[in-house]
């Protein structure tokens, strides 16, 4: 009896931002027992992905010195000032050739949990695109079937992923996830808020 094809999943962690609005590397902001990026990579590791691809750009050398990137395939994005899509384009070629789906995780969004990732992957079925529908709107993480990898590899612009969701609306599956959209850190106020949320977590 022929074996079933391997269904590999990968995380693509976007952590290349230059932190222009914040004025200091947000990847390295103290958070919990480590820094912000440690928390996101902890979620990726706990989610059971077959591969974790980590895109670095701004503050890449400092991140390598300070953050445990073991188990990650690290790619450099020299065009990081062009926005998140440039990191996606840089990372897609590093995916294992048998990867069936990739999940985008933002390196400045520590509130995403392994439970959310598991819910997204369990409910996406074979949908080309799957997104999380929180109580207050759509948010990350997003999952993409391998059929869309060529499109991901040629994205341009900071909001290109959201534009792709609009263009392929008929292909998008929304997965219900309880709670509010996890906050990402762009400003000092955002940082204060995620720290407050961390302290209030039981």
pLDDT digits (tens, 9 = 90+) for 183-197: 999 899 999 999 999
Could you write out the DSSP letters of every residue in 41-81?
HHHHHHTT-SEEEEEEBTBHHHHHHHS--TTEEEEE-TTGG
Contact between 106 and 186 (Cβ < 8 Å): no
* CA 134/CA 63 separation, integer angstroms: 31
pLDDT for residue 135: 95
pLDDT recorded at residue 74: 96
Token pair 């695109």 is found at 129
Query: For residues 192 and 43, what is the distance between their CA atoms, to the nearest angstrom?
Result: 21
178 C-beta neighbours (distance < 10 Å), count: 9
> Residue ranges of the chain with pLDDT lower than 70?
1-6, 202
Q: Is residue 41 within 8 Å of residue 72, measured between CB atoms?
A: yes
For residue 169, is it left (φ>0), alpha (ψ between -120 and 50) or beta?
alpha
Q: Determine the pLDDT at residue 170.
A: 92
Q: How many Cβ atoms from other residues are within 10 Å of residue 28's Cβ?
A: 19
Gap between the Cα atoms of 146 and 107, Å rounded: 22
Strand partners, 111: none
Nearest of 59, 35, 69 to residue 195 by alpha carbon:
35
- For 111, the 3-state DSSP assignment is coil
- Pairing label, strands 99-106, 51-56: unpaired
Candidates 78, 96, 94; CA nearest to 86 is 78
């Amino acid at each position: 009896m022929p074996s079933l094809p391997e269904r590999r999943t990968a995380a693509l962690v976007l952590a290349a931002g230059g932190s222009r609005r914040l004025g200091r590397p947000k990847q390295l902001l103290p958070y919990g027992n480590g820094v912000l990026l440690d928390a996101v990579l902890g979620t990726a590791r706990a989610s059971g992905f077959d591969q974790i691809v980590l895109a670095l750009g701004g503050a890449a050398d400092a991140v390598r010195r300070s953050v445990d990137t073991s188990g990650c395939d690290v790619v450099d994005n020299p065009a990081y000032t062009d926005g998140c899509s440039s990191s996606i384009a840089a990372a897609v070629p590093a995916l294992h050739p048998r990867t069936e789906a990739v999940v985008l995780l933002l390196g400045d969004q520590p509130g995403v949990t392994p439970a959310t990732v598991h819910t997204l992957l369990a409910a996406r079925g074979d949908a080309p695109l799957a997104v999380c529908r929180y109580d207050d709107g759509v948010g990350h993480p997003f999952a993409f079937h391998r059929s869309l990898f060529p499109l991901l590899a040629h994205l341009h612009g900071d909001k290109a992923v959201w534009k792709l969701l609009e263009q392929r609306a008929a292909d998008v599956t929304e997965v219900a996830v309880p709670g509010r959209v996890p906050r990402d850190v762009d400003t000092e106020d955002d940082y204060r808020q995620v720290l407050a949320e961390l302290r209030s977590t039981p």
